[in-house]
Structure formats: C-alpha cells, structure tokens
Structure 1
C-alpha cells in the first residue's frame, strides 16, 4: 500500500464518522428541513470549489485530450447508471445498494484527489464530510421507515458507509499511473463531483424546503470558504 493511499484511508475516517453521527442524529433528533437544506447548499458550494480549484487544474496540467475525453465520458456513463439505479431501487436492499454505490464512488474520488496532491485530498475530505453527514441522516431515516428496529437501521447505515474506504483502496493504482491515465481518472473524478453537486446535493436541498435567500447564499459562501482555504493551504 502506498503512503498516499494510507493517508487517504486515514482521512476517510472523518466522513465515515460523520455518517455515523448523521445516522444517530436521524434516529434520536432529526434535523429540520431548513437546516438540512442550508447545510446541503453549503456542502454543494464546497464540493464545487474543490472540483474547480483542485481537480480541474490537475487535468489541465496532466494534459491529453483523448485521456480526458475517455475519463470524462466514463464518468458520465457511471453517473447516469447511478441515477437510473436510484430510480429503480426499492426497499431497504435497494436503498443500501444505491447508497453503497454512491459511497464507493466518493471513496474512489477521494483517493484520486489525494493522488493529485495532499491539499486537494484534505479539502475534498472537508467537502465530502458534510455530504456524507446528511447521507447518513437520509439513509437512516429511509431504513427506519422500512425496518422494525432503529438500531438495525443505524447498524445497516454504518455497515454501508464502510464502502467509502473500499473506494479509496480501489484508487491505489492511480499513484503509479502514467500521466495520461491520471488525466483520465481526474476527469472521471471531476464528473463525479459535478454530478454530486448538481444532481444530488442541490436537488435534495430544494426538495427539503422552499428556497430562502440566505439558504441559497450558503452555496456561494461554501464556494468562497473553500477558495480561501485553498489560498491558505497554498
């Protein structure tokens, strides 16, 4: 195992812990729709900034039109498949499957980000922690409606969250890949992050509560916060 993957695995424990907290929060004190929408807007801005400020420059640095196109279209295909899976999945097994695929891809993208650089990985960890926190909330709530025991719903959520470190392990070859291959993988990661922002976080945020100006503003505040962190980290 490379040192990059080991570091990424260590940082993965942060969003994993956030998901566990989210699952427990959903069972014992579910957050209100306005708060949920606000945090999801903020998280979307943070993820978007991480994609634009960290992953995109690495694609441009690695170069290669064909690798970028191949990786990008692979990302598009994967995200469309995830979207279709979310539509047809039913019951606890379906919910756990879609959430598991999401988390596996999140872990893969996080590993790719650490391969791009420590600062990229750390900043993306912060972004994904917010996303996974509320993914834990929504998963536990969904399972709680289907299962007889709240404890079982929490344990099932915790179990599926462990797929995120598995995704990091799947990214291990990136550290040793040729520049052209890295460019393709970075393009895949970029598409995955953009899908997370546009088709998951913001869509779910708008479903939670009616738009309010201060809630909408949190998207841009999240974006600016990560940009400032990028400047501070250097």
Structure 2
C-alpha cells in the first residue's frame, strides 16, 4: 500500500493533463464544431473509464451483484442530485447553465479519477500508477473542452484559469476519500465504491458532455468517430500500461 503523500502526487497527474488542455484552449480559438468534437472525445474517454476499468474490476472481485448494481444506481442518483442543485443555484435557463454543467461533469470525472487512484493505491501501487498515467493523457480533451466552453460563455480569463486550477481540488479530494475511507475495509465495499463512481461518470458522460456537444454544433459523420476515438484512446492507454 502506498504512502498518502505519494497517493496525492499520483492524483495530481490527471489534473495536470486537464490543465494542459485548458491552457491550449486559451491560445487556440475553438470553433463550435471543434468544441463539439472535443466534448465527443471527452465523453468517449469517460465512457471507456466505466466500461474498461471500473465495471470489469467491480464485477470481477466476488462482491454481491445486487450490491454492485445498487451502488451503480446510487452513483447515478447522486449526479442527478448534483444537476438539480446546479439548476437551482444558477437557474436552468441561465446562459451559463450549460457551461456550468460541463464544469461539474469534468469536476466529477476528476473526483472519480482521484477516487480510483485512492482505491487503487490501497490495493496496489502499480494499479494506482496505471490509473494515474492513463488519465494524465486521457483528461487532456476534457480540459480543452471545459475551458473553451467557459471562454465561449463569456467567462473572463482570470476566472477561467482559476476554475481550471480548481480542478485539482476535485481529484485530490477523491484520492483522499478513496485512501482513508476505504483503507482496511472489506473488498466488497471497495468494489461497490468503484461501481458508485461508474454510475456518476456514466450520467456525466451521456447526459451532460454529450448533450452539450450536440447543442454546441450539429453532429456530422465525424462526430461518432471522435467519440469512439476517445474510447479507443483510453482503452489503448490502459492496455499498454497494464502490459
């Protein structure tokens, strides 16, 4: 089991990839179609996290199937509650509601990255390293899309950079919870935590990232290619790091 400072160091890697994508968005004028494609890539990456890492690990550890399914549902319900909270705070009809939900989706994704790394570090350091290095590269399009979206919504540069830097909090918080809350706990509880994270991420990818991608620009035949490309990117990174 890794020491906690090392866990925090690993948890900072995905956010570095996200922040790098945001910096690129500051200097590249993103058209609506470019932003839509970046959101498709991000949704593909998040979907791959669920399909390639979270659910296979959750289902392969011998935990009761009903517990995994229940945790998945609770994770989805948690994200829907987050959506309702954001709508209540900023107003569902606000011009910045879409950008706010993209920010929330990326924040939740980074929280889940940290949670995965925290849980992985309790299981083995090598697993935590694989997750951190894979997400370091896979979170780049999410950072680009989030900052480009905020930029297009009229959010000032200082606020954009501040919000981009704030993503570190989500990842470090997730890693802290995953490490301290699950350290020494039973295997079924750890696997249920993975399923909970999968439920959160799946709603974030399908209901927010994809919805915002469709609203930003009309889909073309290439849109699906960018989605599956993001899925393939994370799959390849995970496979190479594991082998």
Task: Provide structure 1 residue ranges, at least 5 long, that are not aligned to the other structure.
Answer: 145-149
Matches of 2:153 and 2:98 in 1, distance apart?
8
Give me the TM-score of the superposition, normalised by structure 1.
Answer: 0.79
How far does residue 13 in structure 1 lie from its aligned partner after superposition?
Answer: 3.3
Q: For structure 1, which segment, 12-21 or 38-47, has the greater mean C-alpha deviation from structure 2 after superposition?
A: 12-21
Residue aligning to 1:191: 199
Q: Is the 8 A contact 1:26 1:141 kept in 2?
A: no
Change (3 A) 1:34 1:44: same
Residue aligning to 2:80: 80
Residue aligning to 2:114: 111
Matches of 2:96 and 2:211 in 1, distance apart?
23
Q: Is the 8 A contact 2:37 2:226 kept in 1?
A: yes
Matches of 1:102 and 1:84 in 2, distance apart?
13
Q: For structure 1, which segment, 75-84 or 103-112, has the greater mean C-alpha deviation from structure 2 after superposition?
A: 103-112
Residue aligning to 2:178: 171
Matches of 1:45 and 1:120 in 2, distance apart?
17
How far does residue 230 in structure 1 lie from its aligned partner after superposition?
Answer: 3.0
- The secondary structure found in structure 1 opposite 2:139 is helix
Within the alignment, does 1:134 sit opposite 2:140 as a pair?
no
Residue aligning to 1:214: 222
Matches of 1:103 and 1:5 in 2, distance apart?
24
Residue aligning to 1:161: 167
Within the alignment, does 1:225 sit opposite 2:240 as a pair?
no
Within the alignment, does 1:69 sit opposite 2:69 as a pair?
yes
- The secondary structure found in structure 2 opposite 1:3 is coil
How far does residue 11 in structure 1 lie from its aligned partner after superposition?
Answer: 4.0
How far does residue 106 in structure 1 lie from its aligned partner after superposition?
Answer: 2.8
Change (3 A) 1:19 1:123: closer
Matches of 2:154 and 2:10 in 1, distance apart?
27
The CA RMSD over aligned residues, in Å, is 3.2
Change (3 A) 1:49 1:18: closer
Q: Is the 8 A contact 1:75 1:188 kept in 2?
A: yes
Matches of 2:209 and 2:96 in 1, distance apart?
22
Task: Provide structure 2 residue ranges, at least 5 long, that are not aligned to the other structure.
Answer: 121-126
Matches of 1:197 and 1:96 in 2, distance apart?
14
Give me the TM-score of the superposition, normalised by structure 2.
Answer: 0.76
Q: How many residues align?
A: 228
